Amino acid sequence: MKRQNVRTLSLVVCTFTYLLIGAAVFDALESDTESKRWEVLSAMKNGLVRKYNITPEDYHMIEIVIIENKPHKAGPQWKFAGAFYFATVVLAMIGYGHSTPVTVGGKAFCMAYAMVGIPLGLVMFQSIGERLNKFASVVIRRAKCYLRCETTEATEMNLMFATGMLSSIIITTGAAVFSRYEGWSYFDSFYYCFVTLTTIGFGDYVALQNDQALTSKPGYVALSLVFILFGLAVVAASINLLVLRFMTMQAEENARDEDKEGSRTMLPIDGHPIASRQRSHDDQASAGSRYGTYDTGGYAHMHRTAYAVCSCDCLGNKQCEGGALLPSERAPRALRRRASLAMAPDLVERASV
């Protein structure tokens, strides 16, 4: 089985194992609390029904009214401020679920709007992330120059550290702001910021949903939108660097695998095998400017060389003498002399095809 297939299968197994571990941990942490909350709510429901003699139909109607009335505590959800907030959540793929279109036209437009807006938002966040990474690389280089480091180039690890620190600062600062305005605990605010900027968007905590905030606090609305857009760009830049690092590692492994698959052993000459690599189109095109070496043991090893292959591997532009591999005329004179010494006639016999 190829290494690429093994790697893919390993990723699938690791992902499902991670899912199973996560499910087991959430079960252990949340299951007992869920059962206890259900028991308390059921007892309260039964008490209210008995106390006020509420029929099951009336109680169901009360539930519907309370649930449907909850989003309106923040004010009109579909005036311009609320609609802009909703459009931002759609474009950023957060999807709190705090308000949803109910008309056929609204649902149809939402689908069309998301089809165009989501790719546009991804490109915008990616572009902002690239600019942030560029700015971070400039700052890192200048800092290294100031500190007189041996290497002044910004490495991937430096950029990942810088964007990770900036993401942490944004999340912690945003948590303090939302804790102040929403009345949440700092941990709940931190949880909200993390869930928002990673586009998970459970909707259990949603900003701008209390005390008519959408209409009475325009500054807070603007701050929330800036936090979402800028924070998503920074976190996206940090996550993209991490993903690109893994993709680069995988590409390097794939290249090594292809090199191993492309390498082969030519027919022996006087009992000594000639190791050869299959040359790519780029190697063949630039063969005139790349030269290989003969090792001291008399083996001709071709590393993207200007040497032509003889006998059964003729690729054109070859020079042959008794079946031996000789350098091209474009090779330097010293290299040709060295090759002629290494491939002396008494050591070379023509390879049989």
pLDDT of 251 strictly over 70: yes
pLDDT digits (tens, 9 = 90+) for 168-192: 999 999 999 999 999 999 999 999 9
Mean of pLDDT over the chain: 77
Q: What is this structure's pTM?
A: 0.68
pLDDT of 298 strictly over 80: no
pLDDT digits (tens, 9 = 90+) for 328-346: 454 555 445 544 544 444 4
pLDDT digits (tens, 9 = 90+) for 133-143: 888 889 999 99
Cα torsion angle, 321, 326, 328, 334, sign: negative
How far from each other are the two terminal CA atoms of the chain, in whole angstroms? 31
Confidence of residue 231 (pLDDT cuts 50, 70, 90): very high
Q: What percent of the chain has pLDDT over 70?
A: 73
Displacement of CA 39 from its chain's centroid (Å): 43
pLDDT of 318 strictly over 80: no
In this prediction, residue 24 carries a pLDDT of 97
pLDDT of 284 strictly over 50: no
Q: Which residue has the tokens 């690092």?
A: 245
pLDDT of 311 strictly over 60: no
In this prediction, residue 171 carries a pLDDT of 95
What is the helix (H) or strand (E) element at residue 263, kind and residue range?
A: strand 263-265
pLDDT digits (tens, 9 = 90+) for 25-84: 999 999 999 999 999 999 999 999 999 999 999 999 999 998 888 777 777 889 898 899
Helices (H) and strands (E) in the chain, counts: 10, 6
Residue 52 CA: distances (Å) to CA of 38, 48, 56, 61, 178: 21, 6, 12, 15, 39
In this prediction, residue 327 carries a pLDDT of 47
